[in-house]
Amino acid sequence: MMTFLELAKKRCSIRSFTKDPVDPALLSVILEAGRVAPTAANSQSQRILIVDEKEDLRQLSEIAQIYGAPLALVICADHNATWKRSFDGFDTGPIDTAVVMTHMMLACADVGLGAVWVDYFRPQRLKSMFNLPDSWFPYHVLAIGTPNVALKSPDRHATMRLPLDRTVFKAGAFRK
Ligand SMILES: Cc1cc2nc3c(=O)[nH]c(=O)nc-3n(C[C@H](O)[C@H](O)[C@H](O)COP(=O)(O)O)c2cc1C
C-alpha cells in the first residue's frame, strides 16, 4: 500500500500515450476522486466534460496539445455556482477546478494511468467548440491514457524541485 507521499512522488506528467482506450471502471475512480474534492463553501462549481470520441479528440487537439491521449477531461467552473468572497468579489472558480484536477491527476497515478495537466489553450475557442453554457469557463484539460513511456523517477524531485528553504519561511522571517 502506497503512502500519500509515495503516490505524490510517483505521479509525473505523461506526454506519450498508447492508443488503448481508458477502462471505464478506472475513469469512474478518477471522476469519483474529483467528486469528493473540497471546493470553496462546498460550492462544487466544477463541470467536467468527457472527451473520448474520435472527432471530438481531433478537434480538441487543434486547440490544446493532448499528446494523442485517448481521453481528455475538460474541467470548467460554472461561475453561477462558484463562491464569491463577499467583501471583494474574489471568485474561487479557478481554485475549485484546480483542486478537482489535482485529486483526479493523483487518482490517475494511483490506478496506473498516465496524465498531464494542460492549461495552454485559448479558453474561448474551447468554449465555442463544445458550445458550453455562458456561465461555464473551461480552465483546465486533463489528458489521460496508458503511458507509452517509462515513468519518471520518484526520486527526481531531489533536483527537479526547489529545496524547502527556498519556498517555506518562518512567519517572522521578514519582520524588521
Ligand atoms: C497549472 C498547470 C498547468 C500546466 N499546463 C501544462 C500544459 O499546458 N502543457 C503541458 O505539457 N504540461 C502542463 N503542465 C504540467 C507541468 O509542466 C508539470 O507538472 C511540471 O513541469 C512538473 O513535472 P511533473 O508533473 O512530471 O512532476 C501544467 C501543470 C500545472 C500544475
Determine which residue's CA is closest to atom 29 belonging to ligand 1.
117
Please give the CATH topology (third level) of the domain spanning 11-174: NADH Oxidase (3.40.109)
Determine which residue's CA is closest to atom 21 belonging to ligand 1.
13
How is the chain split into domains, by residue range? Answer: 11-174
Among 118, 131, 148, 151, which residue's Cα sits nearest to residue 11? 151
Among 33, 116, 124, 21, which residue's Cα sits nearest to residue 70? 21
Residue 24 has pLDDT above 90, yes or no: yes
The average pLDDT across 84-91 equals 98
Give every CB contact of residue 76 below 8 A, 6+ residues apart in sequence. Answer: 46, 47, 48, 49, 97, 132, 136, 137, 138, 139
pLDDT for residue 1: 87
Report the predicted TM-score, pTM, of the whole model to 2 decimal places: 0.98
116 lines ligand 1 (CB under 6 A): yes
For the chain, the residue count is 176
Among 143, 154, 104, 99, which residue's Cα sits nearest to residue 120? 143
- The per-residue pLDDT of the chain, averaged, comes to 98
Residue 146 has pLDDT above 90, yes or no: yes
13 lines ligand 1 (CB under 6 A): yes
62 lines ligand 1 (CB under 6 A): no
